[in-house]
């Protein structure tokens, strides 16, 4: 089931995010005409701060390679909810990351 969550922004605005909410057995959500977003307990920025350590750890390890790449790209999914904020989305018990490394080799010019 889908639900809207409104995250306040540090500058005073807000962003509304659609999230998946697991359905509980035997529970039916009552209709309310217009869907009113639930207000998150933290700012959008502080919710994203929770995934920063994972992203930084991946980047640091890749930069520490013997032959570090010139460009590093890391993609991962985020799941948002009103209580926990942002968490890295996982399929089952495994987290999924897409890592792209690029090396730019310039040909040596003959003198």
- Are residues 87 and 50 in contact, defined by beta-carbon separation less than 8 angstroms? yes
pLDDT(1) > 80? no
Question: Measuring CA to CA, which residue among 84, 7, 14 is closest to residue 40?
Answer: 7
Domain count, the chain: 1
Count CA within 13 A, CB hemisphere, residue 17: 21
Q: Specify if 66 maps to a domain.
A: yes
Please list, in sequence order, all residues whose beta carbon lies within 8 angstroms of the beta carbon of residue 11, skipping any fewer than 6 positions away.
none
Q: Specify if 74 maps to a domain.
A: yes
Q: Specify if 63 maps to a domain.
A: yes
Structure tokens of 16? 């509304």
Q: Specify if 111 maps to a domain.
A: no
Q: Specify if 61 maps to a domain.
A: yes
Q: Specify if 65 maps to a domain.
A: yes
Distance CA 104, CA 111 (A): 21
Q: Specify if 52 maps to a domain.
A: yes
Q: How confident is the model at residue 39 (pLDDT cuts 50, 70, 90)?
A: confident
Contacts for 54-58 with beta carbons within 8 Å, 24 or more apart? 54/88, 58/97, 58/99
Structure tokens of 74? 């890391």
Residue 18: give the domain boundaries.
Answer: 2-23+34-102
- Are residues 41 and 47 in contact, defined by beta-carbon separation less than 8 angstroms? no
**pLDDT of amino acid 25:** 57
pLDDT one-digit tens code per residue, 44-101: 888 888 888 888 898 999 999 999 999 999 888 777 766 666 666 655 445 577 889 9
Q: Specify if 110 maps to a domain.
A: no
Would the pTM of this model clear 0.85, i.e. be above it?
no
């Amino acid at each position: 089931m889908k639900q809207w969550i409104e995250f306040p922004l540090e500058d005073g605005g807000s962003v509304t995010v659609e999230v998946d909410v697991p359905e509980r057995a035997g529970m039916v959500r009552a209709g309310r005409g217009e869907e009113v977003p639930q207000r998150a307990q933290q700012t959008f920025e502080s919710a994203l701060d929770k995934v920063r350590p994972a992203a930084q750890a991946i980047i640091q390890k890749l930069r520490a390679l013997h032959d570090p790449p010139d460009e590093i790209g890391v993609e991962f999914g985020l799941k948002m909810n009103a209580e926990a904020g942002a968490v890295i989305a996982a399929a089952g018990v495994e987290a999924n990351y897409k890592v792209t490394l690029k090396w730019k080799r310039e040909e040596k010019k003959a003198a």
